[in-house]
Structure 1
Amino acid sequence: MEKMKASMWQYTPNNSPLPVPKSSFIVSNNEFLALDLPSIAEHEVSIEDIKEAIGNAMVGQEKVSQHLTNHGAPAMNDRRPLLLLGELANPFQLARLGLGIIPVVTVRIRDLCRTYADSLDPRMIQPGVHHITMARSKGWWEKTHLGFVTVQQMKTMIQWLGNGGSTDWRPVKPNEGEIMLEFDSELRHPTIEAMSLEGDVEICTDVEPDQNGPKFDVRQVIVPVHTRHGCYDSRGKIIRCYHVGQRDFHTNYFRKGSFMKWQDILTTL
C-alpha cells in the first residue's frame, strides 16, 4: 500500500464497508499510510506487548511511536484496542469522522463472526446502510481489523454508529471466542458449504489455516455491538458478512423486525 489521501479511499454505501485494507495501516484526517508490522514469533502475547510492537513498527521512515509524537497524537500506551468490524475499518469513513491518527492492525477472530445488525442507517443512502455487529459462531474464523484508539475517539465512533443515539450501540468486552494478530493478507475463509446445523446450533466444519500471529486475551478487546435489536435473524441462522455483501443482504435477505437479541448471540463481561 502506498501513501495516499484518506479521502481518496473507495467507499460506496451500497457496498459498505468494502473495500477495506488487506493489511495494517495508520489513518489520520488527511492521510492513509501503510503500517509495516513485523511478524511476532511468540504464540501468545499481552495487549501491552502488541502496543509495544506497533509502537516500534515502521510507518514510512519513522517508528509509529515517533510518528504519533511528531503529530501531537496520544501515545500507544494511552490507547485501547477496539474491533473495527464494518465501516469503521474503511479509511474514507475514519477520515470523514475527523478523529485524528489511528493505528489499525489486521487480526483473526475465532468462534466469532461479523454479521449485520437489524437496523438501517439512512444518513448516506435510502433506505439505509446495515452496520455490522458481532455474534458467536462455532468453528468459524475470519480476518477483521483492530484499531488502537483513545477513549474520546471510541466514544465518537460509537455515537456515530448510533446516529447520536446513546442506547443503540454499546462498547462491550467479549467473554468468548479468540483473537490473534493476522499476517496473511489473503487468509482463506470458510466456504458457505462448510456451514451445517447440529440441532439448533450452526457450526463451521471447514479446517482453519494454521495460526500465523500471536493470540491475545479477547476479554481485553472492546467491540461495538448493536443492543437495540441485536443481529438479523435469517430463519434461525446468522448471515455472515464474508458470505453475503451489503447489497445482496438488503435485497435478498433483510425483512425488518426479524432479529436475535444481542444478549443471546454474544457473552460479554
Structure 2
Amino acid sequence: MQPETPNLWQYAPANSPLPLPEGPILVTKKSIHYLSNEGDNYESKESLNLSEIQKYCSQFTCEGESIDSLLSQENSSLLQDRKPFLLLGELANPFQLNRLNLGPMPIFIIRLENLCRTYADALDNRMITPGVHHVTLARSDGWWEKAHMAMATIEQMKSMVTWLNNGRRAGDWKPVKPAEGTIRFENESQLQCPSMDMLHWDGVSETVKQKTPQPTGPSLELKQLMVPIHTKWGCYDSRGKLIRSSLVGQRDFHTNYFRRGSSKKWQDILKIE
C-alpha cells in the first residue's frame, strides 16, 4: 500500500535518498496524490519549450482530477506559474521535501540520457554524523536512468537551494541550466538503468555501449531546466570513475568509496549555459 501522506513516507539519513517515488505525484502538506498520464505522449522530434512542458504536465490527473484543480484547492500557484527543477537526491523524497514546508509541488518522472546522478564530494551533517552525501549531476556517455523533476515556483527553487546550502542564500550549491545530455519525460515506471557490468572503462572514461531504450515521452529543452550542482568540489572522483547513486547506495558509498579518491571539479563534469 502506498503512503497517503508525506509523513508516512520512509526516510533514513543512512539510506538517503531512498526510497523515491516510482511514478509521478503531487505532494502537499497532508497528502500525496498519485498521478497518471491521461493524454498522449507528444511523439514529437522537437524538444518541448516551457509552455509545452506545462501543457504536457497538465495531462496528468489523480482519479480524474487535474493538477491545477488540486493546486487551486491548496491556494497554490498553478502549472502556468511553475518551471522545471531537477530533484536528483533527497529533495525527491516526499518526507524530506515536506520538512522544508515549501507548499504543494508536482513531481514527474524523467529520464536522463548521457547524464547520471552521482555523489557530491561533500558532507551534510545536519541529520547524521558524519553526514549525508547529496546527489549532483554529471555527464556519462551512453548512460540512462530515471530521475525526478518538480514543477516549482521561483520561491520554491530558491528555498530548495538555500536548504542545500545549510540555510544560506549563497553557498557551494548553485542552480544552473545544463547544456549537454538529454532529459525527457519517462512513462515506463520499470525502466532500469545499465548495470555495473555494462560500464566500459578504458582507463580515462566510462561508457555504456548498449543501445538506449526507446523513448516513452518527449524531451525537454535544456534551457528550460534548472538543476542544483555543487560548485566547490563538483562530484566524487573514484580514481577517474563516477560513483552512480543508482548503483551504489548512500551507506555503501560512504563505507567503501568515500575518502579513497579525490574530487572532480564541476567544470570538468558538466557543461552549463
| Structure 2 CA distance for aligned equivalents of residues 214 and 198 of structure 1 | 32
**Contact 1:33–1:60 at 8 Å: present in 2 too?**
no
Deviation of 1:155 after TM superposition, in Å, equals 0.7
Structure 2 counterpart of 1:17? 17
Q: Is contact 1:29-1:94 (8 Å) kept?
A: no
> What's the Cα RMSD here?
1.6
Q: Does 1:238 align with 2:239?
A: no
* Partners of 1:112 and 1:48 in 2: CA distance: 24
Aligned-partner SS, 2:51? helix
- Which range moves more in the overlay, 7-16 or 63-72? 63-72
User: Partners of 1:169 and 1:180 in 2: how far apart?
Assistant: 24
Q: Secondary structure at the match of 1:267?
A: coil
Q: Which residue of 1 aligns with 2:35?
A: 35
Matched, 1:258 2:259: no
Q: Which runs of 5+ in 2 are unaligned?
A: none
Could you tell me the TM-score, scaled by structure 1's length?
Answer: 0.95
Equivalent-residue separation in structure 2 for 1:60 and 1:67 (angstroms): 11
Distance 1:199 1:251, change over 3 A: closer
Give the Cα separation in 2 of the matches to 1:41 and 1:5.
31
Alpha-carbon distance in structure 1 between the residues aligned to 2:219 and 2:59: 19
Distance 1:89 1:168 in 2: 20
Question: Which letter maps to 2:132?
Answer: V
Query: How many angstroms apart in 2 are the aligned matches of 1:206 and 1:21?
Result: 26
- After TM superposition, which residue ranges in structure 1, 4 or more long, deviate above 6 angstroms? none
Structure-2 residue corresponding to 1:64: 67
C-alpha distance 13-2 of structure 1, shift in aligned 2 (>3 A): closer
**Alignment gaps of 5+ in structure 1:** none
1:170, 1:225 within 8 Å by CA — same for their partners in 2? yes
Report the CA distance shift for 1:4/1:187 in structure 2 as closer, same or farther (over 3 A).
same
The CA distance in 1 between the partners of 2:3 and 2:63, in whole Å, is 9
Q: Does 1:229 align with 2:230?
A: no
Call closer, same or farther: CA 1:109–1:53 in 2, change over 3 Å: same
| Identity over aligned pairs, percent | 48
Deviating more after overlay: 148-157 vs 59-68: 59-68
- Cα distance in 1 for partners of 2:101, 2:121 equals 27
